[in-house]
């Protein structure tokens, strides 16, 4: 089975891969999409994040080189593996010191070899960045490394922890499949909000379950958090059945198994801004955010709270 949940994005592979290749990938559990060899493909990636990118790489292709650089410099999806389909003649003159691709296959390639190589690069990505298999966002280890890296630089940043309120009740009533759609939707909301902030150093991660993290410059964090809350509220009701949406609540069970009425899901965001709060290590950020998140979750509706303690 495909270790990643997103599709494989093929770029410019017409005439390089045939129906046999596609049938083999389908049999191995790989969904796929196609795109032209165009820089506009970045917008498609943010609209429907792939698990992996496979790109035909003809000799002396400046457009392909430029696209690889754009893909790898993206601050949110730059971790996605890029596999090149290279002719043997081109392979001999490739400048691998400067090529930012993660792997390659020599064409013509056997259908089974494509699937095998994709399994390997996806497994390697998950080991290297602990990527969350559901959303493709960096996981807990990568998040901790990123926060510690920024602390070591001693430059101000703001880190926000997002938690979805009443998510378990939704999961219990509607099932894990629809719950997974909520998590993918939340990841997309976060990515879009970060992109709109135009903060090149911004970062998004998925801790696990319904817990997410995003990091921005201090001056961007409020606008991003507000946009996340507004867009979450705008979209989330669509995931409920019409009757539940109309009455504004669902009947489900609490953590002790007792029947209860739960409001529609909201999100709570706890923010620690290092330009306000003098923190020197990751444990302090975690402790502060946990306290602030409790306060945020005690307030009805989607909201964010910034820790203003010195």
Strand spans (E) along the chain: 8-11, 32-35, 52-57, 82-87, 103-107, 158-165, 203-208, 211-216, 249-253, 259-263, 266-273, 303-307
pLDDT tens track of the chain, all 310 residues? 444 567 899 988 888 999 999 999 999 989 988 887 666 677 778 777 888 999 998 766 777 888 888 888 877 788 889 999 999 888 888 888 788 899 999 999 999 999 999 999 888 877 766 778 888 888 888 898 899 999 999 999 999 999 999 999 999 999 999 999 999 999 999 999 998 898 988 999 999 999 999 999 999 999 999 999 999 999 999 999 999 999 999 999 888 888 999 999 999 999 999 999 888 888 899 999 999 999 999 999 999 999 998 7
Q: Report the run of H or E that residue 120 belongs to, with start and end.
A: helix 111-129
CA distances from residue 280 to 21, 249, 286, 292, 303 in whole angstroms, order as listed: 52, 42, 12, 18, 26
Which pLDDT does position 265 carry in this prediction?
A: 98
pLDDT digits (tens, 9 = 90+) for 210-236: 999 999 999 999 999 999 999 999 999
CB burial of residue 68 (10 Å; 0-12, 13-18, 19+) = buried
Q: Domain segments of the chain: what residues?
A: 8-129, 140-307
Q: What pLDDT is stored for residue 73 in this prediction?
A: 80
Q: Which CATH number fits domain 140-307: 3.20.20.140, 3.30.565.10, 2.60.120.510, 3.30.70.270?
A: 3.30.70.270
Residue 302 near residue 267, CB atoms below 8 Å: yes
DSSP 3-state of 259:
strand
Closest CA to 161 of 20, 290, 33: 290
Q: Which among 202, 223, 229, 222 has a CA at the least distance from the CA of 213?
A: 202
Backbone angles phi, psi at 101, to 5 degrees: -70, 160
Residue 101 pairs in a beta bridge with: none
- 243 close to 276: Cβ distance less than 8 angstroms: no
Q: Are strands 203-208 and 211-216 parallel, antiparallel or unpaired?
A: antiparallel
Phi first, then psi: give them for residue 135, nearest 5 degrees.
-105, -15
Q: With contact defined as beta carbons under 8 Å apart, do 122 and 52 qualify? A: yes
pLDDT tens by residue, 156-204: 999 999 999 999 999 999 999 999 999 999 999 999 999 889 898 899 9
Q: Does domain 8-129 have CATH number 3.40.50.11540?
A: no
At residue 202, the pLDDT reads 94
**Does the reported pTM lie above 0.75?**
no
CA distances, 11 to each of 23, 68, 146 (Å): 18, 11, 30
């Amino acid at each position: 089975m495909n270790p990643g949940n997103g599709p494989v994005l093929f770029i410019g592979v017409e005439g390089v891969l045939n129906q046999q290749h596609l049938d083999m990938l389908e049999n191995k559990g790989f969904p796929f999409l196609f795109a032209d060899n165009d820089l506009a493909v970045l917008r498609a990636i943010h609209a429907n994040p792939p698990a992996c990118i496979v790109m035909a790489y003809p000799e002396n292709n400046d457009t392909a080189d430029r696209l690889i650089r754009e893909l790898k410099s993206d601050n949110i999806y730059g971790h996605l593996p890029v596999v090149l389909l290279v002719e043997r003649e081109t392979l001999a003159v490739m400048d691998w010191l400067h090529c930012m691709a993660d792997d390659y296959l020599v064409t013509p390639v056997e259908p089974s070899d494509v699937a095998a190589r994709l399994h390997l690069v996806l497994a390697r990505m998950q080991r290297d960045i602990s990527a969350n298999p559901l959303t493709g966002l960096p996981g807990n280890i990568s998040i901790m490394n990123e926060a510690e890296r920024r602390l070591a630089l001693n430059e101000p940043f703001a880190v926000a922890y997002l938690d979805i309120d009443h998510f378990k009740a939704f999961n219990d009533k509607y099932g894990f499949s629809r719950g997974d759609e909520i998590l993918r939707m939340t990841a997309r909301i976060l990515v879009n909000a970060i992109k709109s902030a135009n903060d090149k150093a911004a970062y998004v991660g998925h801790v696990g379950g319904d817990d997410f993290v995003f990091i921005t410059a201090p001056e961007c964090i409020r606008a991003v958090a507000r946009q996340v809350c507004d867009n979450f509220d705008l979209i989330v009701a669509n995931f409920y059945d019409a009757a539940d949406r109309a009455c504004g609540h669902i009947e489900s069970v609490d953590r002790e198994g007792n029947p209860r009425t739960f409001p529609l899901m909201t999100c709570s965001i706890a923010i620690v801004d290092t330009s306000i709060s003098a923190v020197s290590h990751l444990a302090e950020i975690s402790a502060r955010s946990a306290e602030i998140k409790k306060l945020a979750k005690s307030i009805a509706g989607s909201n964010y709270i910034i820790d203003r303690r010195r």
